[in-house]
Structure 1
Amino acid sequence: MLDLATVTLASLFAGFVDAIVGGGGLILVPALFSVFPGAAPATLLGTNKAASVWGTAWATGQFAKRVQMPWSALLPAAAAAVVGSAAGAWTVTLASPDGLRKALPFILLGVLLYTLARKDLGRTHTPHWTGRTQALLASAVGLVVGFYDGFFGPGTGSFFVFLFVRLLGYDFLHASASAKLLNTATNASALVLFALKGHVWWHIAAVMAVANVLGSLLGTRLALKHGAGFVRGVFIAVVAALIVKTGYDAFLQPG
């Protein structure tokens, strides 16, 4: 019972953070591995997806009610993200992600330093492109980051947000809202794969999903209330935490 309470609380907090700017996996995945150290990693990852996909989907719906979403660009981008995720998952069966694991902390550090240096970055919503061009660029982001999500994964939401801000000219609020849709698509795709392989603890995932949606509700309300500046601040904090976590995993973790 204590184990379930622990991962449920982690799921609540993960949903809260994920709704604002992504990065919920930074909280929930380590919690699952800590509480259930003897379980198969695929089962824990599948259970994580089964819980978090609902919070991400809920956040997408909440943002869509209050933020103007460019559906003509985002729907093709979501489809591209699913294709990229599947391709990344297939590639990881052929090649090891060890090189990327060691490079990731430095890539994230570059994202953080760039964001800090450009103090105006993502504070105003001024899309650089419209129509087909916007759809093509959004789809390219979906394909590339979706591939990364399937191949390795940590920081996927942060990469979606950063690229929507940097390449498409979105503010952090609109970028986070857009990232939620793409993250929902990739998470749902991964969940189908895990479920077909029997790698989901549905009885635990159901309880965590409720908590994740509640956390998502709180996070979305805060993001909508305080706007792009607040989301930017949380983005910086999450990327900094990801640098520490991925750096430890790549260079300091025993074994």
Structure 2
Amino acid sequence: MADISLTTALLLCLAASLAGWVDAVVGGGGLLQLPALLIGLPPHLPPTYALGTNKAVSVTGTAIAALTYARRATLDVRLALRLGGLALASAAGGALFASAVDKRVLQPLIMVVLLAVAAFVTLRPRFGTLPAAPGTAPPSRRRVAAALLVAGVGIGFYDGLIGPGTGTFLVLALVPLLRLDLLTASATAKVVNVGTNVGGLLVFAPRGTALWGLVPFMALFNMAGGWAGAHMALRRGSGFVRVVLLAVVAGLVAKLAWDQWWA
């Protein structure tokens, strides 16, 4: 497996299982998995191998989590699939442009947005924790169109372009746009995230930038983490998702700050 030791492979599999769990609950598992790959892969391999391997592994965990949510959570499957299909195309486009973008310019902007989001969620303790009231009308066409534009096109393109925190951004966008609670938003985000991962993988895979000997083993652990995370979120509800959301946002800000000023 590209000169990777057994110990390193086991540590990468552990990181994949934790990433699958985080992704299933609220998104942001790439905070664990992608840095682990960048550290664990042989230094002679370019970073694109970490990106490609990350996408190949992540798609399995998000798919398992999406299926778990679809079977047990209240989920508008048709809308989720529309968002996912649009996100797939947008992520593929973002991946094609990834090499042409100066990420040092975008990262500070993302950090500002995330800090604002963290402050908002902290100061609004009921944000996304209340389920929709019985008989609540479905979202209007205008709200659905806004969700397709922001989550499907915008965040999908972002995932292909940069990537970290995509699932978290999806949850934060879907709660206000579609008036969902955090649990339902997380369930919908999993379907969309499958699309973004497939879109990126369609660009990376033909270029051979994925370690296919390592992918099946990490994928198994990622799926196990995704299954466990989805079941835990369903069992504990939106309040639990909110706590994990704040933790992931804090981790994402720290990771981007490290990349920007100290890496």
- TM-score bucket (shorter structure): over 0.9
Corresponding residue for residue 39 of structure 2: 34
Deviations along 1:59-114, one digit per CA (max 9) or x if unpaired, are 00000011121123222211221232233233434442321112221111011001
Shift of 1:230: 0.3
User: Residue 78 of structure 1 aligns to which amino acid in structure 2?
Assistant: G
Q: 2:102 aligns with which of 91, 96, 101?
A: 96
- For 1:34, what is the secondary structure of its paired residue? helix
Corresponding residue for residue 3 of structure 2: none
Shift of 1:223: 0.3
Matched, 1:4 2:9: yes
Q: For residues 12-31 of structure 1, what are the structure 2 equivalents within 5 Å?
A: 12-31=17-36
Q: For residues 194-233 of structure 1, what are the structure 2 equivalents within 5 Å?
A: 194-233=204-243
Corresponding residue for residue 139 of structure 1: 148
Query: CA–CA distance in 1 between the matches of 2:207 and 2:17?
Result: 26
Query: CA–CA distance in 2 between the matches of 1:185 and 1:134?
Result: 21
Deviation >4 Å, runs of 4+:
none
User: Residue 188 of structure 1 aligns to which amino acid in structure 2?
Assistant: V
Shift of 1:37: 4.5
Corresponding residue for residue 153 of structure 1: 163
Matched, 1:252 2:257: no
User: Residue 221 of structure 1 aligns to which amino acid in structure 2?
Assistant: H
Matched, 1:107 2:113: yes
Deviations along 1:143-182, one digit per CA (max 9) or x if unpaired, are 1111111222111111100011122211110010000001
Q: For residues 106-125 of structure 1, what are the structure 2 equivalents within 5 Å?
A: 106-125=112-131
RMSD after superposition: 1.6
Report which stretch shifted further, 143-152 or 59-68.
143-152
Q: What runs of 5+ residues in structure 1 fail to find an aligned partner?
A: none
CA pair 83-102 structure 1, distance change in 2 beyond 3 A: same
User: Residue 18 of structure 1 aligns to which amino acid in structure 2?
Assistant: D
Identity %: 38
TM-score (ref. length: structure 2): 0.91
- Matched-pair contact (CA < 8 Å) for 1:72–1:135: no
Matched, 1:191 2:201: yes
Query: CA–CA distance in 2 between the matches of 1:4 and 1:208?
Result: 8
Query: CA–CA distance in 1 between the matches of 2:241 and 2:158?
Result: 23
